[in-house]
Amino acid sequence: MSGGLSCASIHRQTSAGLISGVSVPFEVRLLRLIFLYILQQDKMPQTPPFPTMYGSNGYNKNLYKAKEEDYEGLYYHDNNLVSGSLEALIEHLVPTVSYYPDRTYIFTFLLSSRLFIHPYELMSKVCHLCVDQQRLTDPQARVRKIAPKILQLLTEWTETFPYDFRDERMMKSLKELTHRLSTGDELYRKAVQQMTQTLIRKLTTLSQYEEALAKINSSVTDRLTVLKTKPQSIQRDILTICSDPFTLAQQLTHIELVSGTSSRCFSDHKKASNLEAYVEWFNRLSYLVATEICMPVKKKHRARVIEFFIDVARECFNIGNFNSLMAIITGMNMSPVSRLKKTWSKVKTAKFDILEHQMDPSSNFYNYRTALRGATQRSITAHSSREKIVIPFFSLLIKDIYFLNEGCASRLPNGQVNFEKFWELAKQVMEFMTWKKVECPFDRDRKILQYLLTAPVFSEDALYLASYESEGPENNMEKDRWKSLRCVCDLILQGC
């Protein structure tokens, strides 16, 4: 069971480095902000499927055919944009009478630009450039050519990065520019109104999700306290809610494919990032697994729960849900669980050993990456929604992005923006977005989902206490810890 522990270490390191925002470079904190916006999206508007957007080198040169001499300050290699000044890249984002930026460029630049400039500052510059373009043309040309292109750019921005528009300065610039576009033309007025309503609807929905899940968080308490003070209220366990491993794996997949459930965010901060949400969900599932194993009094029941979760993990692997698979393995490898030697002696571990081998962190998770490539290929050639499902081990994905960001300079020695880096960054993020927007084909079971999302779980100390009470301490250190935990628990209960 050593593989899972190392995997958990990977998860903890990633969480600490990218979630806390403490002692990390400014650029890395900005990279974190990228996911604040990207992971909120259900779809990428009017964008070609991922395989057609990016080639093996990070972008598709057949979709992007600009010539070096056409754009001052931009530099190309083999007809592909590789670098440029920030100002030139911003100008390249803005449509003209005869030009509309390629959608792969729009996505890549909007994604990466926040490493250099705040979205509201970018929006202000875009607005000024758009106004300048309007002034260069007569009124009829503006209505006929410029206005629809600018409106299309704004639509792609609002649909792909709606969280940018929670900033009042962004909304102010958007309103000013769209007012100019729609003045005197009923057709564009309706289009602007539709775009604005769609944006407001999406922001409202995101806020409702956050508020609802903040309430869920505030209601989730330590299961040990509930168990000691109100034992009749916690008679249920996972096996009474769902005894079929495949069904539970399906419901876990619903939660992972966040657009399918109300589990978008497990944070009570209005502007909390779904990066935190993914990590908190992983932690919750790991602790739920450990809680369900440590809670039963009888050894036979504990062994049965372990075997059940092994089967759930195997079904997650078959589905392509690697994140839930890793969370389950992590929970089963927590020290309070792994120390239950008498319980584990009753478990047939052959299937678990295979799963741990698949997720073995050695050689940079070679086995997992091989399985992920297989699932990705299956998704590309899928004939059914179920075959399209790919849910990567999220913390490792973030770590890959982190090292891509750290390993490649964002600016070249001449001060130009290294756009080759951002093609690759966009490729990885777009791949994740493509996986994320797959519609979950499984029927939802509200009772199971509610349990997975809201059932109280043990804290780490409570897990150790339950573990020691199930199988007594084996050495002096464990005995001392057990005594200390029992004293703390008694003090807590006296205050209830």
Looking at the DSSP bridge assignments, the partners of residue 80 are 77
Mean pLDDT of 330-350: 97
Q: Is the pLDDT of residue 68 over 50?
A: no
Q: Is the pLDDT of residue 49 over 50?
A: no
CA–CA dist 391, 376 (Å, integer): 10
Categorize the per-residue pLDDT at 18 as very low, low, confident or very high, splitting at 50, 70 and 90: very low
Categorize the per-residue pLDDT at 231 as very low, low, confident or very high, splitting at 50, 70 and 90: very low
* pLDDT reported for residue 54: 47
C-alpha to C-alpha distances, 99 to 70, 74, 102, nearest whole angstrom: 11, 16, 9
* pLDDT reported for residue 172: 94
375-388 pLDDT per residue, tens: 999 999 999 989 99
The sign of the dihedral angle between the CA atoms of 258, 259, 263, 268 is positive
Categorize the per-residue pLDDT at 333 as very low, low, confident or very high, splitting at 50, 70 and 90: very high
Residue 333, both tokens: 């490898």
CA–CA dist 170, 374 (Å, integer): 42
pTM over 0.85: no
* pLDDT reported for residue 264: 38
Mean pLDDT of 415-428: 93
Range list of H helices, 39-81: 50-53
- Sheet of 74-77, strands arranged across: 74-77, 80-84, 417-418
Mean pLDDT of 322-331: 97
Residues in the chain: 496
Categorize the per-residue pLDDT at 280 as very low, low, confident or very high, splitting at 50, 70 and 90: confident
Domains of the chain and CATH, by start:
2-29+220-390+438-494 (1.10.840.10), 30-203 (1.20.870)
C-alpha to C-alpha distances, 277 to 15, 114, 203, 255, nearest whole angstrom: 11, 21, 17, 11
Residue 486, both tokens: 């029992």
What DSSP element (H or E) covers 480? helix 476-494
* pLDDT reported for residue 258: 65
Percent of the chain scored above 70 by pLDDT?
Answer: 73
158-206 pLDDT per residue, tens: 998 998 999 999 999 999 999 887 776 778 888 899 999 999 998 888 7
Asked if 293 and 362 count as a contact pair (C-beta separation under 8 A), the reply is no
433-480 pLDDT per residue, tens: 888 888 899 999 999 999 999 899 998 999 999 999 999 998 899 888
Quick one: which of 271, 47, 26 has its CA closest to 162? Answer: 271
* pLDDT reported for residue 496: 54
Categorize the per-residue pLDDT at 45 as very low, low, confident or very high, splitting at 50, 70 and 90: very low
CA–CA dist 103, 64 (Å, integer): 9
Asked if 331 and 356 count as a contact pair (C-beta separation under 8 A), the reply is no
CA–CA dist 47, 26 (Å, integer): 31
DSSP 8-state assignment for residue 167: S
321: phi then psi, degrees, rounded to nearest 5: -95, 80
